[in-house]
Amino acid sequence: MKIAVASGKGGTGKTVVSTSLAWLLAQDGHQVTYVDADVEEPNGHLLLRPEITEERRFSVLVPALRGNSCSGCGECQKACEFNAIVALADRVMVFAELCHSCGGCLLACPDEELIEGPREIGTLAAGFANGESKMAFHSGTLDVGEARATPLIDGLLKDVPSDGIVLVDAPPGTSCSAMEAIRDADLTLLVTEPTAYGLHDLRQTVEMCRTLGRSMAAVINRSDLGPDQVRSYLDGEQIPILAEIPFMKEVATAYAHGQVVAAASAPFRDFMASVASYLLQEVTS
């Protein structure tokens, strides 16, 4: 079973909820894998404090010239949808940061002068967390300055075993990277908050999930601090609300100290338990 935890708006509590759910399910004896797919700003490790046992650099393929025989004909430039190649008089200039690794330029080159080579864009890490109630931990970190997170998230998810319960901490927003993180999930758990910003971004995320044909459920965090529109919106969309978690100072304190919140706060743990029981009952992989 694969659950993606997504939000639209940043800062609603995705990482608090996903690390807490992972912790709780592992405590209950389930085989759990926590995946931090928020590769532009991964921070699940701050709460879970995993022991990293494997780390590797991740590369995408980009074109380069094989030798000095390029005629500068420009066929590869024409084939590139992303303006990553500029043909000069007697060679081509490749802007690797713009390349989407489609390989079209290699097919277009009449002289087979282009080859593909690796270009590193980030790091993938794997290990274990949670002491005796072990859970597997996977995370990706995109290099600073890289524009495209999608291939790294794809590589990260391919490394993750499909058995047991997989919790994917998705990036915020509705861009390609958010879509990549929720694409294969059996259910997307939306973590939202009752604020104007929360509602605005939630609408976009719901629309994204509908477009991708993903089923959804929601958790309203800090549910007592704002107006009711988020609740009525979710009801109107027929998205089940699994928990409405009021603001609790002990939650904020645990979070501020970098603790897994479900481990530190009994009331928060109870909310996570009802979310977990819904997931175990309703979601089949």
Partner 1 sequence: MSNIAITVAAGQGDLSAPMDGRFGRAEQFLIVDSETGEVLRALENPAINDAHGAGTGAAALMKKEGIEAVVSGRFGPKAFEALTGLEIVTWIAPSGLTAAQALALFQQGQLERMQLQIIR
Task: Return the number of the residue (83 or 232) whose C-beta is nearest partner 1.
Answer: 83
CB of 223 to partner 1, least distance (A): 36
Task: Return the number of the residue (88 or 115) whose C-beta is nearest partner 1.
Answer: 88
How is the chain split among helix, strand and coil, in percent rounded to 5?
Answer: 35, 25, 35
Where on the chain is the footprint of partner 1 (CB under 8 A)?
77, 82-84, 86-89, 93, 95, 97-98, 145, 147
* Alpha helices for the chain (secondary structure H): 14-27, 44-48, 75-79, 104-108, 150-159, 176-182, 196-211, 229-236, 249-256, 261-264, 266-282
Task: Return the number of the residue (86 or 107) whose C-beta is nearest partner 1.
Answer: 86
CB of 97 to partner 1, least distance (A): 8
Task: Return the number of the residue (77 or 223) whose C-beta is nearest partner 1.
Answer: 77
* CA–CA dist 242, 12 (Å, integer): 15
CB of 93 to partner 1, least distance (A): 5
CB of 148 to partner 1, least distance (A): 8
Neighbouring residues of 155: CB distance < 8 A, sequence distance ≥ 6? 58, 124, 140
* CA–CA dist 70, 90 (Å, integer): 6
CB of 147 to partner 1, least distance (A): 6
* CA–CA dist 137, 46 (Å, integer): 12
* CA–CA dist 222, 154 (Å, integer): 32
Task: Return the number of the residue (147 or 256) whose C-beta is nearest partner 1.
Answer: 147
